[in-house]
Structure 1
Amino acid sequence: MTEYDTYYDVGLGGGRNTLTAKRFWEASAEERFIVQQCGDCSEHIFPPQDVCPYCWADALTWTEVSGDGVVHSFSTVYIDLHEAWAERVPYTVAFVRLAEGPLVVTNLVDCDPDEAEIGMDVEVVFGELPGEDGVFPQFRPATGDSE
């Protein structure tokens, strides 16, 4: 059995349990934000895919991106829906459009929910999520500081 015969399962369902996403989560553990880029049409792709959703090529490689983006949409959760997240209520879930193009579903951190707004410039930060092991990319209002 090779590594390609099994799932790469580290806890969170969906995109975390596939070999296609393995490099993304390994880079996140190093606090690097990577996405796929198509070698045929040059589009940046997220979430990880087996083929390019724009041109259907399978010439996908991983590339580190700036981590800069803009809030496209958001919703703030005020009700304790899961015990692991109880201490974070209220928390804001956002769709962030990366400078390189892809739309990412993420948490907006270090921002009062009343100050979140569509069009807000944000930057990636890495931190833990309740009930999960590992480091996850999240976004905060852009500070202009380079870390």
Structure 2
Amino acid sequence: MGQRLQQLWQRYKSVLAYLFFGGLTTVVNYLVFWIFNLFCSYLIANTVAWLLSVLFAYITNKLWVFEAKTPTWRARLKEAGSFFGFRLLSYFVDQGIMIVGISFLHGNALIVKLIDQILIVVMNWFFSKLFIFKNRES
């Protein structure tokens, strides 16, 4: 039984870590959005929330989710550029969902943000797993 649990942990470790840290990233994003939305427009609040949560996500994804080892500064810069580049893509999707949900559909900002974050977390996992923190030798 212990051997089987260890095999399952090794097999799904990155997914479980991503769910945990993705959840924390979502909490960071949601709380920052909620606070800034009290005194800023939802678009500005969403941008600040995105910036802070992406910084948090980069650090946690690199260190604990994908355990990415980047041997050179050049590789690290490429990795960080790739991470922020793909997250910039998700930022535009994020803003689009918020604009449609709040401005066009007149939804509650916090409910739209919650739905938005579920979609963004899934999208970002695929970007991270397939393109950013893939196993590399150099």
TM-score calculated relative to the size of structure 1:
0.26
Task: Identify, as 1 or 2, the structure richer in helix.
Answer: 2
Q: Greater strand percent: which structure? A: 1
Kindly indicate whether structure 1 or structure 2 has the higher relative contact order, using CA contacts under 8 Å at least 6 residues apart: 2
TM-score scaled by structure 2?
0.27
